[in-house]
Structure formats: C-alpha cells, structure tokens
Chains A and B, each alone.
Chain A
Amino acid sequence: MGLAVLLALIVAPEDADQGISQRIFYIHVPIALTAYFCFGLGALKALLLLWRGDERYDLESYVAIHQGTIFGSLTLVTGALWAKASWGVWWTWDSNQLVLFLVLFLFYCAYFMLRFSLPEGARRARSSAVYALFGVVLIPVSFLAIRLAEDFIHPTVFTREGPQMSGSMFLTFVVSWSAVTLLAYVLYRVELTGKRIDRDLRELREVLS
C-alpha cells in the first residue's frame, strides 16, 4: 500500500486534463473494483451454500458482503470527493453508473437487515444466500452502465482500444489495484478467522456450561 501511495502521489505524471485531482483515480477505481469483487465473491459463496448445503459458506458469504459494503462506502466517499474536485458537485443523479452503484450498495446494505432480522440457523443462511444471489445481477449492470448508456459525465478510461493512459500511469494503477486487492484479501481472512473462532468459542462455552 505504501508503494502504491508513493507511486500515485509522487511518481505518476500529472494528468494534462484533470490536473492533480486525477490522482484520486489510483485509489478510487481499485476500491470500486474490489467492492464489485467482494459482492461477487459473496454471491458465489451463497451459490455454493445453496448448491452443496455446506454451512461454512454462509459465514464466508457474509464476510465477503461485509467487506463489499466497507469498500462500497469508501467508493462513494472517494467518488464524492473526486466529483467535488472535478465537477464542482458532491453527487450527480445524471450519471447512471453512480446511481446504479448506489442502488447496488443499498441493496447489499439491506442484506444485513434481512440477515439480522432472522434467528440464527439454516433458514437464515438460505434466505441470506438467496438475497445475495439476487444482488449479483446488479454487478454487471452497474459495471457496464457507463458503456450501455453512453454516459459522458463519468469518464471511461478502459476502452476496447486498451487503457487510455500512459505506461507509468497504468503501472501505478496496476500496483494500486494489486495493493487494494491484497489488503481486501487480508482483511477478509482476518475477519473470517475471527468470526470462526467466535462461533467455536460460543459452542465450547455451551458444552462446558
């Protein structure tokens, strides 16, 4: 992460069009992609739960969606700051990608309301899994919205002709993306391990009492 920040803030050249605010791209886009990935992973684990019936996928799906909402919140906050710096507004309802990302984010926020409104057990695991799977439909729609709707407000950097940036900018982006993905993976493993130990300790307490 340190190398990524160093490259993004010091080494990468300044964008001729956007100026210094373009440096937000190196953190905002990797975080947004990680949020999509976490939601997708949560849906995949939910599918595995419904398919194989293994209860361990319930916790894995929950933790992935939890990570997704954290990275989703960061995407919205960093995006709002970038919008204010570049467009002069915190938010615009004219951009389909922004609105669809907000819908996706709110959809997965509601996942927690559903999950914690049900008693712990197989029914909660199945209901949560079905809900998580419904949300996965929104991911490609949100991701491709800018291309489908020919949205000119939100910039498109990655086109069919490749990335529209210089080599050093692309390298900085790749390093930042790798760093954020690695960070998300480490946080996912730590949270998952913590939740598993917590569950095992509760079971052990019940056995001993």
Chain B
Amino acid sequence: MSQGEYVAAVYGVVFVVVLVYVAIMAAKLVRLEREMAELLELARRRAATALTDEPVPTA
C-alpha cells in the first residue's frame, strides 16, 4: 500500500465508524419511538376503560 492509501484508509475508517455509530443510534431512536407509541396506546386504553367503569351519578 502507498502512503496515500494509508491516509485514505485512516479517514475512511473514522468515517465508517461514525456512520455505524449514528446508524445504531438511529435504530435505537426508532425502537424508543415505537415503545413510546405502544405505551401511549396502553395509557389511552386504560383511560377509556376508567371512564366507562365510572359509576353513573344518581339523582
């Protein structure tokens, strides 16, 4: 390998590692977003159930 190729390899390695790290973080954020949506749905269902189960006030 020539010296220029070593320089290219160094900058390439750094670029790839940062790219992989960002991709992992992005995948994690997608997972967190999905979990958040699931929990929101669960909380909404709980709230709806609590409303229907509420006793009807009598006169």
Contacts and interface: CB of A to CB of B under 8 A. Distances in A.
Interface in B6-28: 6-7, 9-11, 13-14, 17-18, 21, 25, 28
A21 B3 CA distance: 6
Contacts of A24: 6-7, 10
B21 A77 contact: no
Nearest to A183: B18
Contact of A194 (B13, B29, B46): B29
B10 A20 contact: no
A20 B17 contact: no
A146 B27 CA distance: 41
A205 B39 CA distance: 7
Nearest to B4: A20
Contacts of B29: 194
A70 B7 contact: no
Contacts of B46: 208
A82 B46 CA distance: 60
Nearest to B43: A208
Contacts of B7: 9, 20-21, 23-24, 85
A205 B29 CA distance: 17
A197 B36 CA distance: 9
B39 A201 contact: yes
A82 B32 contact: no
A74 B13 contact: yes
Contacts of A183: 18
A95 interface: no
A148 interface: no
Contacts of B39: 201, 204-205, 208
A78 B43 CA distance: 49
B4 A78 contact: no
Contacts of A73: 17
Interface string A1-32: 00001000100000000011101100110010
Contact of B13 (A9, A21, A23, A78): A78
5 contacts: A21-B6, A82-B10, A190-B25, A197-B36, A208-B42
Given A5-B11, A74-B14, A84-B1, 13 more contacts: A20-B4, A21-B3, A24-B6, A70-B21, A81-B10, A82-B6, A84-B6, A187-B21, A198-B28, A201-B35, A201-B36, A205-B35, A208-B43
Interface of A: 5, 9, 19-21, 23-24, 27-28, 31, 70, 73-74, 77-78, 81-82, 84-85, 183, 187, 190-191, 194, 197-198, 201, 204-205, 208
